[in-house]
Amino acid sequence: MRKTIRKRSKQTIFGLPLVDIACGPDPAKNERFGNAHGVIAIGDRATGWIALGGLARGGIAIGGSAIGIIALGGASLGLVSAGGLALGGIALGGLSAGVLAAGGLSLGWPVARIFATLF
């Protein structure tokens, strides 16, 4: 059985805890995964301004699957995204699709072509 971690700061910003950490199952709430919500959220599923987790959603999202303005992860979706599969305005990754794209297989305007025209 996985260890359960739950920590939440008392400080809040706009009603969200400054830091919320939720990893592992919580039988008391009948949750199989830790759901963290905060300005800085760390957990199995994290939602926040800065989110770190297996599934991360937020302004800056870093995780296995990441969705955010800036997304870094195995699969990422965002305005700026990087990862194995990257989708977004600026996409960098093994398979990337976006307005500007670079990677092993990229769909969009190649970043290299833009730099070549500028210099």
How far apart are the C-alpha atoms of 44 and 32, rounded to whole Å? Answer: 10
Ranking 41-45, 59-63, 74-78, 108-112 by mean pLDDT, the lowest is 108-112
Global confidence as pTM = 0.84
H-helix segments, 1-119:
111-118
The residue to which tokens 């939602």 are assigned: 47
Number of other residues whose CB lies within 10 A of the CB of residue 38: 26
Q: What is the mean pLDDT of residues 83-105?
A: 92
Q: What is the mean pLDDT of residues 80-104?
A: 93
Q: How far apart are CA 10 and CA 102, in angstroms?
A: 42
Average pLDDT over residues 70-87: 96
- In this model, does residue 118 exceed pLDDT 80? no
Tens digits of residue pLDDT in 16-73 = 999 999 999 888 888 889 899 999 999 999 999 999 999 999 999 999 999 999 999 9
Total count of residues recorded for the chain: 119
The pLDDT score that the predictor gives to residue 109 is 73
Q: Residue for token digits 């990893």?
A: 23
Long-range contacts from 49-57, C-beta under 8 angstroms, 24+ separation: 49/16
